[in-house]
Amino acid sequence: MLPDYTGIIDREKLIKKYFNACYTNEEIIASLFLLHGNIVSLRHLKRLLKKYGLKRRKTITLPDIENIIAAIETELQSSGKCIGYKAMWKRLKLKYGLMVNRDLVLDLLNILDPEGIERRTKHRLLRRKYVVPGPNFIWHIDGYDKLKPFGFAVHGAIDGYSRKLLWLEVSSSNNNPGIIATTT
């Protein structure tokens, strides 16, 4: 009877997935073994990475730079306008699968978003606007656990529209949801 070789295709997808998620070689081996029952030695993994064309460092060509610039501009239009170059580098790697040098990301951000870099260095970030349609639309409930070792569990709620304090209560425990949910 011939052995089943269908797992090789799955192994290739898994190795590429873990490699693009920034796993180290040892973490890839451990994940393959523990999660998928696939045993691969370090030497064999290095051969497979070379076979699949996966390199930790590679030269960047002109079309790659165009893709990188497009991805950075896309991120700057959305939630990426408040993140620095290290977080942008990580996002390019994880979300877009682009292997980029961090210095290149810093240089591109200096060109594409100089005002953003200046705001981040001065710690003057632009925050989002907080808009609530009306009163009692959303309540923000939170607890304060610093006094819990002394027997005081503090809970409160604030109306999101008016920002008025709805309640602030002290109870003996915050482990019982019945105590937290009942307001007097």
- Number of neighbouring beta carbons within 10 Å of residue 72: 25
The pair of three-digit structure tokens given for residue 100, joined into one six-digit string: 């980029």
pLDDT of residue 8: 59
Task: Write the pLDDT tens digit of every residue in 133-156.
Answer: 999 999 998 888 898 889 898 988
Q: Residue 126 in contact with residue 116, Cβ under 8 Å?
A: no
Average pLDDT over residues 101-122: 88
3-class SS of residue 144: strand
Residue 129's pLDDT band, with cuts at 50, 70 and 90, is confident
Closest residue by Cα to residue 152 from 167, 174, 168, 175: 174
Task: Write the pLDDT tens digit of every residue in 64-102.
Answer: 788 899 999 999 998 888 888 899 998 988 888 887 888
Average pLDDT over residues 34-52: 92
Three-class SS of 93-122: HHHCCCCCCHHHHHHHHHHHCHHHHHHHHC
84-93: long-range contacts, CB 8 A cutoff, minimum separation 24: 84/120, 85/109, 90/22, 92/68, 93/20, 93/22
3-class SS of residue 30: helix
pLDDT of residue 2: 44
pLDDT of 3 above 60: no
The domains of the chain are located at 7-52, 62-121, 139-181
Closest residue by Cα to residue 93 from 72, 110, 122: 72
The pair of three-digit structure tokens given for residue 48, joined into one six-digit string: 């497979």
More confident residue, 2 or 91: 91
Return mean pLDDT, the chain: 84
Lowest mean pLDDT among 13-27, 53-67, 88-102: 53-67
